[in-house]
Amino acid sequence: MSNVAQSAALELNGSQNLKKWGGWILGVGIWFLPLLWTDLTTYLVLTVAGITMGMLLFLTASGFTIILGLMDVINLAHGAFFAWGAYTGFTALTLLNKYGWVETGSLGQSVGSILICLVLALAIGWVLGVILEWLLIRRTYGSHLKQILITMGAALVMAEIITIFWGPNDEVVQTPAAFTGSIDVFDVIVEKFRLLAILVGGAVFIAMNWVLHKTKLGIIVRGGVENGEVVQTLGHNIRRIFTYVFAAGAALAAMGGTMWSIYTQEIRPDMGEENLIFALIVVVIGGMGSVTGCFLASLMVGLAFNYVAFSAPTLALGVNIMIMAVILLLRPSGLMGRD
Amino acid sequence: MSIPTTAFTPVEMLRQQEAAARYTRPALWLQLAILALFILEPWAISSFRVMDVAAKVMIFTVLVASYDLLLGYTGIFSLAHAMFFGMGAYSLALITHHAGGPAWWHLPLAGLVALVLAVLVSLLVAFFSLRLKALFFVVMTLALAQFADILSLQWHSFTGGEDGVSFKLPGVLAVDWSGGSLAGVPLNGRLLSYYVVLIVAVLLFMGLVRFVRSPAGRVLKSIRDNEQRATALGYKTFNYQILSNVFSAAVAALCGVLYAMWVRFVDPESAMSTAIMLNILLMLIIGGMGTLYGAIVGTAFIFIAESWLADGLNAVKSYLPDLLILQRLADRWILYFGILFILVVIFFPKGLVGTARDMAARRKKRSAVE
């Protein structure tokens, strides 16, 4: 008798293990699927490109997810911050190029110009974020419908202001000299700027985790995500923190825009819209308000996009929509989201 | 004590009141006047531009009203309504384009294809994301709409890409057909197309009004106001939401067919793009959500403003040719639409018709008190 029970228990354990590990094996293994139609070198190049795109997406999407998690605000103007950041970076690079810093500079000047771009983009994003929060978002707390409508209008206005200042055409963005060209690692060609982008994305991820988990502000923000009213009763001005968090999200998006524009070397006034859609997909896959989930989802979306875009560029967005649909079926609150 | 069997439920009593006042309401005469305006328009003003605007206003009125069914009556925020519209437009354009010369069966076939496509896609979207939080539905529809836009732009061999598809219609609807004149107005393909648009649009609009007033429509409103209560009352809210979603998508697709029939040219920018979606939203908000008739007001306002504003700005531009910033300011009339969008949402959230109805209701209350 006991033998039977034991073996049944073992079997149960085994099937649970299978479920647990099967999920992992499937989840990891699916990323090797593209090897069926590409050779190894191409696959590795695409993987690097995918991770780069994922890191850049993370910059935009992480701000969105924090704003959504803490403030319960759906901010469709997030893509506009992205575009503003890109144009800020473009202007700074064009100016610096006049002093010979960009196209023909030393390593120090290249790093300097990128730093200047990023700082300027963060500043512009912060200022615009504060303005938008003060002017519009404040009036819409609690009503998703109003938020969506008002931020759509704001996105429209911000994109139009870009066209008024910078003109409606595509512009070419210069990459600083030290980050042009590529390194050859066993026939796998890795562009230098991609490495920088991965570095920046990873640094932001670590920094965000540090701020959220090790500082007092982070504790307040995380508490606000759980329950804003309780945080308020503990004597913290949650409204002011809302403004800061919104501005920080906007600044991150602007920084993502700058990095993105240097990476793709072109900017358009409507570039924010397209990026916003990917950021939204990332947020939904990752789960609202979760930075780690957002990070994983960014990588997923970036990788899937690049693998598919290599052979069928038209379908790249479609595949991401499919991934989103499947994840929503399996885990309705996203990878790391809470119900 | 037993309840008398002849008692009416509150809903039935409301219906009876409505039925008794059916022919004495001022709104009825307003509706008939608007209808007469559209019927007589070709005879009153012999300008093609005005006729074009009138036809587009009719088509977009139905489109916006069908979106109102979704957003204003059911409380579902979708950003894929322009996609369904584009599906309809493209199904007529592609069938006539790829099937050789113009033939009559193209029109019903296009209508059928548009309906089937819209129903299938909207069902799929609803099943995947309607059960979840509102944001998921927004994201899903936004991404799908973008995907459709990319497809129509980049699948060049099938959709003609950015250049779009232009096509011809058969028989009396053809542009070069003409059959004399009636009371000074030439009877030609344009005029007949106008009346086809008019008839179909009025039928669709009446269908929408009927749907909203039906028992199912009342359930939809109750879901919008309080979903938990509707569930507690025993309604399967998910099924009703799907019904609303599918119905409005189907109407939007038919609007697309109508639009393609009127313009005879379809390209991504005029049928699929986010700009169309923004236009629909703006028209709905200006007219008023949850009013259905607001669609007429909002659509007319936007179309008239669009043609008038562009003219006015061009005039300003020609007076001051030296200021580059001003030139660009004059070119970007979308900017003013964006500002209008924000202002209306903040200061005028019920729209023109909604505010007018509120005022009328208040006056009625006041006179009842006196």
Cα of B195 vs its chain's centroid, Å:
18
Q: Is residue B269 part of a domain?
A: yes
Can you tell me whether residue A184 is helix, strand or coil?
strand
Most B-contacting residue of A71, A148, A288 (CB-CB within 10 A), to test interface = A148
From chain A, the residues in CB contact with B154 under 8 A are: 313-314
> CA–CA separation, A184 vs A302, rounded Å?
22
- 3-state secondary structure labels for all residues of chain B: CCCCCCCCCHHHHHHHHHHHCCCCCHHHHHHHHHHHHHHHHHHHCCCHHHHHHHHHHHHHHHHHHHHHHHHHHCCCCCCCHHHHHHHHHHHHHHHHHHCCCCCCCHHHHHHHHHHHHHHHHHHHHHHHHCCCCHHHHHHHHHHHHHHHHHHHHHCHHHHCHHHCEECCCCHHHCCCCEEEEECCEEEEHHHHHHHHHHHHHHHHHHHHHHHHHCHHHHHHHHHHHCHHHHHHCCCCHHHHHHHHHHHHHHHHHHHHHHHHHHHCEECHHHHCCHHHHHHHHHHHHHHCCCCCCHHHHHHHHHHHHHHHHHHHHHHHHHHCCCCHHHHHHHHCHHHHHHHHHHHHHHHCCCHHHHHHHHHHHHHHHHHHHC
**Mean pLDDT, chain A, whole residue set:** 84
Residue B75 and residue B224: Cα distance in Å, rounded? 5
Residues of B with Cβ-Cβ distance to A329 under 8 angstroms: 128
Q: What percent of chain A has pLDDT over 70?
A: 92
Helix axes B134-154, B106-129, angle to 10 degrees: 140
Q: Flag whether B6 is in a domain.
A: no
What confidence score (pLDDT) does residue A53 get?
A: 92
Residue A105 DSSP SS3: coil
**Which pLDDT band holds residue B63 (cuts at 50, 70, 90)?**
very high
Token pair recorded at residue A283: 């947020």
Tell me whether residue B331 is in a domain. no
Question: What token pair was written down for B165?
Answer: 């598809």
Distance of CA B100 to the CA centre of its chain: 31
Report the alpha-carbon distance of residue A82 to residue B45 in Å, rounded. 48
First to last CA, chain A: 42
Chain B residue with minimum CA distance to A274:
B146
Q: Write down the residue that tokens 């994003």 correspond to.
A: A125
* B:21-80 residues touching chain A, CB 8 A cutoff: 71, 75, 77
Burial class (CB in 10 A: 0-12, 13-18, 19+), B364: exposed
Confirm whether B38 is domain-assigned: yes
* pLDDT tens-digit readout, A164-209: 888 888 888 888 877 777 777 777 777 888 888 999 999 999 999 9
- Chain B, window 270-289: residues with a beta carbon less than 8 angstroms from a chain A beta carbon: 274, 278, 281, 285
CATH code of the domain containing B214: 1.10.3470
Q: Is the pLDDT of residue B203 over 90?
A: yes
pLDDT band at A319 (very low <50, low <70, confident <90, very high): confident
pLDDT for residue A54: 93
Q: Would you state the pLDDT for residue A51? A: 92
Using DSSP bridges, classify how beta strands A188-191 and A266-267 pair: parallel, antiparallel or unpaired: unpaired
Check if the interface score ipTM surpasses 0.90: no
According to DSSP, the β-strands at A182-185 and A188-191 are antiparallel
Non-local CB neighbours of A259 within 8 Å, separated by 6+ positions: A56, A59, A118, A197, A200
**For residue A53, how many C-alpha atoms fall within 13 Å in the half-sphere facing its CB?**
21
Cα dihedral B38, B43, B44, B50 in deg (nearest 10): 60
Does residue B249 belong to any structural domain of this protein? yes
**Spatial CB neighbours of A2, under 8 Å, sequence gap ≥ 6:** none
In chain B, which residue's Cα lies nearest the Cα of A323?
B140
Looking at the structure of chain B, the number of domains it has is 1
- Alpha-carbon distance of B215 to B222, in angstroms, equals 11
Contact check, Cβ <8 Å, B128/A329: yes
Share of chain B above pLDDT 70, in %: 92
Contact residues on chain B for A167, CB-CB shorter than 8 A = 328
pLDDT at B183: 67
d(CA A47, CA A45) in angstroms, rounded, equals 5
* Chain A residue nearest residue B285, CA to CA: A149
Q: Round to whole Å and give the CA distance between B286 and B344.
A: 7
What mean pLDDT comes out for the span B170-175?
71
Residue B87 contacts residue B145 (beta carbons within 8 Å):
no
The torsion angle over the Cα atoms of residues B215, B219, B224 and B226, rounded to 10 degrees, is: 140
Token look-up 């894929």 returns: B80
Q: From the DSSP assignment, how many helices (H) and strands (E) are in chain A? A: 12, 4
Task: Scan for tokens 């804003």, then name that residue.
Answer: A228
Asked whether the beta carbons of B280 and B63 are under 8 A apart, the reply is yes
How much is the average pLDDT of A147-169? 88
* More confident of the two residues A206 and A110: A206
CA distance B105 to B108: 6
- Residue B216 falls inside a structural domain: yes
Mean pLDDT of A36-50: 83
**Inter-chain contact B328–A163, Cβ cutoff 8 Å?**
yes
Coil/strand/helix, residue A337: coil
Q: What is the pLDDT of residue A129?
A: 94
Residue type for position B340? L
pLDDT band at residue B304 using 50, 70 and 90 as cut-offs: confident
Is the per-residue pLDDT at B289 higher than 50?
Answer: yes
Q: Which of residues 287-316 of A touch B (CB under 8 A)?
A: 288, 313-314
Top mean-pLDDT range of A202-206, B76-80, B96-100: A202-206
Do the chains contact at A324 and B143, CB–CB below 8 Å?
Answer: yes
Bridge pairing between strands A182-185 and B165-166: unpaired
Query: For residue B2, is pLDDT > 60?
Result: no
Q: Are A282 and A294 in contact (CB under 8 A)?
A: yes
Residue type, B158: F
- pLDDT-derived band at B292 (thresholds 50, 70, 90) equals confident
| Cα–Cα distance for residue pair B141/B280, rounded to 1 Å | 15
pLDDT: is A182 or B358 the higher one?
Answer: B358
Q: Looking at the complex, report in whole angstroms how far the Cα of residue B35 sits from the nearest Cα belonging to chain A.
A: 31
Q: Hey, where are the domains in chain A?
A: 38-330
Residue in B339, B331, B341 with CA at minimum distance from that of residue B310: B331
B134·A144 Cβ contact <8 A:
yes
Q: Domain of B226?
A: 33-276
B333 shares contact with chain A (CB less than 8 Å): no
Average pLDDT value for chain B? 83
Residue B352's pLDDT is what?
84
Asked if B86 and B63 count as a contact pair (C-beta separation under 8 A), the reply is no
- Residues A82 and B274: their CA atoms lie apart, in Å, by 18
Angle (deg, nearest 10), helices A291-311 and A271-286: 120
Fold of A38-330: ABC transporter involved in vitamin B12 uptake, BtuC (1.10.3470)
Q: Residue A1: what pLDDT?
A: 44
pLDDT at A39: 78
Which residues share a beta bridge with A88? none
- Taking the C-alpha atoms of residue B328 and residue A167, their distance in angstroms, rounded to an integer, is 8
Find where tokens 């009703």 sit.
Answer: B240
CA distance A274 to A268: 11
- Chain B 233-262, CB below 8 Å of chain A: which residues? none
Higher pLDDT, residue B316 or A233: A233
Q: Which of A155-159, B196-200, B328-332 shows the lowest per-residue confidence on average (mean pLDDT)?
A: B328-332
Choose, out of B83, B345, B346, B350, the residue to mutate when testing the contact with A (most A CBs < 10 Å): B345
CA distance A28 to chain B (A): 24
Q: Which residues of chain A does B123 touch, with a Cβ-Cβ cutoff of 8 Å?
A: none
Q: Using CB atoms within 10 A of its CB, is residue A260 exposed (0-12), middle (13-18) or buried (19+)?
A: buried
- All residues of chain B having their beta carbon less than 8 Å from the beta carbon of residue A273 are 274
Per-residue tokens: A228: 């804003």
Enumerate residues 232 to 291 of chain A having a beta carbon within 8 A of any beta carbon in chain B.
273-274, 277, 280-281, 283-284, 288
Other Cβ atoms closer than 10 A to A15: 11
Residues 136-155 of A with CB under 8 A from B: 136, 139, 144-146, 148-150, 152-154
Rounded Cα distance, B135 and A64, in Å: 12
